[in-house]
Amino acid sequence: MTKESTVPQHPSVDLAPFPPGFRWSAATAAFQVEGSRTADGRGRSIWDDFVDAPGAVRDAATADPGPDSYRRHREDVALLAGLGVDRYRFSISWVRVQPEPGGPVLQAGLDYYRRLADDLLDVGVTPFATLYHWDLPSAIEEQGGWLSRDTAERFGEYAAVVAEALGDRILHWYTLNEPVSTSLQGYAVGTLAPGRQLLFGSLPTVHHQLLAHGLAQRALRAAGAEEVGIVNNHTLVLPASGADADVTAAAVYDVLHNRVFAEPVLVGSYPDLEAFGIPPMPVEDGDLELISAPGDFYGINFYNPTTVADAAQGSPVPFEIVPTPGAPVTGFGPEWPIVPASLTELLLDFRERYGDRLPPLVIGENGASFPEPEHVDGPVGDGDRIAYLAGHIDALGAAVRAGVDVREYTVWSLLDNFEWAEGWSQRFGLVHVDFDTAQRTPKASFDWYRSLIAEARS
């Protein structure tokens, strides 16, 4: 069966603000698309542990085989060539390359990423690799994971291994993806791997991830990388009302979700955490200089704004996330409101807040999931996704027109994939994937994005 769209298939997008050379990209991540969890000596990550924990993932879904990109990556490369993107953002699985910290390197894993990069280059698509997209080796988590400073050192070693092996063909790099998700969802509330529930006790993971970024950036630069930066999920934080308590709650959440990650990288210091009742970071001499070494870009993943209210009496944290009034939602429901203009406001806020310390920006992810059939026998009409993407590209264009230096826009995701704790229930792809057969079927949004890219270049 196919899904009929209930919204226009071809909303117009104003491409005038985007300068010549602006890049259009698509993304995936290793654990979400590769499958082959035990192939060729691949080690075990915290996401293997999380998937295997009873009740952790919706419908007890596992990440195998899914799109099976480890064995079928050439199909993905052909799709990318047909889409016409400038770059493909994918991630390198730490445990596919180095299952044990400091242990032997798996040649089969490196060979896979070498083939992927070469095949991309052969069709004119630039490989844009992410060193870390959440798949921490289980052996490192057992030793403290991101709560331990030693994990940053191990990550620096892993970065050097990958840079030496692949740096001759992959010149563009993200170091870490969304440290906020690892810290807040993985270690603070436990909805993502490793499933810890430490609340404010999770905060050392922020500093250790940023330190890992600094070490990785140094290793990649030493290997000749042309472009290196970190990418975080950022959100426009909205107070639920003008009441002082809601405004204060929103300010605390803005620090925890946005500022505590951006400011060490961009300005070399943490915000005044104690002023918000937040414990200080475990900073040692030289850390902030390493973390704030200038990047070639700063990556922003954006999906939705976040409306915040004062917490209920007895809450362990001083804020509560509430629905955004009047906003339509994606397949995640009220948790993911659709307000494209909030992307414009966020980018303008970044320019105002960080000024000349802000490097060129890259939108590292933007997309939406909506209910779609598991099996299809023809094209999928996903007009709701097209409307979401069009709205956010227009919102990005408004920021560019206002003078924000944004160089790239990336759709999440090229493929329907394993959506973490939601399993296979949330489909983000421009391409439908039958998770029983790995059959790929481009959706209407694929054709729409292809046409938009072609028009932008004309």
Here the tokens at position 5 are: 């769209």
DSSP symbol at 15:
-
Helix then strand count (H, E) for the chain reads: 15, 15
Active site residue 419: no
Catalytic residue among 141, 178, 263, 419: 178
Omega into 425 within 30° of 0, i.e. cis? no
Amino acid found at 164:
E
**Max intra-chain CA distance, the chain:** 60
- Residue 102, burial from CB neighbour count under 10 angstroms (0-12, 13-18, 19+): exposed
- Please report the DSSP string for 384-423 in residue order: HHHHHHHHHHHHHHHHHHTT--EEEEEEE-SB----GGGT
Asked if residues 267 and 354 have their Cβ atoms less than 8 Å apart, the reply is yes
- Please report the DSSP string for 279-346 in residue order: PPP---TTHHHHHTSPPS-EEEE----EEEEPPPTT-SSS-EEEPPTT--EETTEEEEE--THHHHHH
Here the tokens at position 167 are: 């740096």
Active site residue 365: yes
Q: How far is residue 135's CA from residue 419's CA, in Å, rounded to a whole number? A: 14
Q: How far is residue 10's CA from residue 420's CA, in Å, rounded to a whole number? A: 30
End-to-end Cα, the chain, rounded Å: 36
Other Cβ atoms within 10 Å of 330 Cβ, number: 22
Residue 451, C-beta contacts closer than 8 angstroms, at least 6 positions apart: 10
Other Cβ atoms within 10 Å of 294 Cβ, number: 11
Q: How far is residue 35's CA from residue 44's CA, in Å, rounded to a whole number? A: 13
Backbone torsion region of residue 324, taken as left when φ is above 0, otherwise alpha when ψ lies between -120 and 50, otherwise beta? beta
Which is nearest to 180 in space by CA: 169, 168, 191? 191
Catalytic residue among 141, 365, 372, 408: 365
What residues are labeled active site? 178, 365
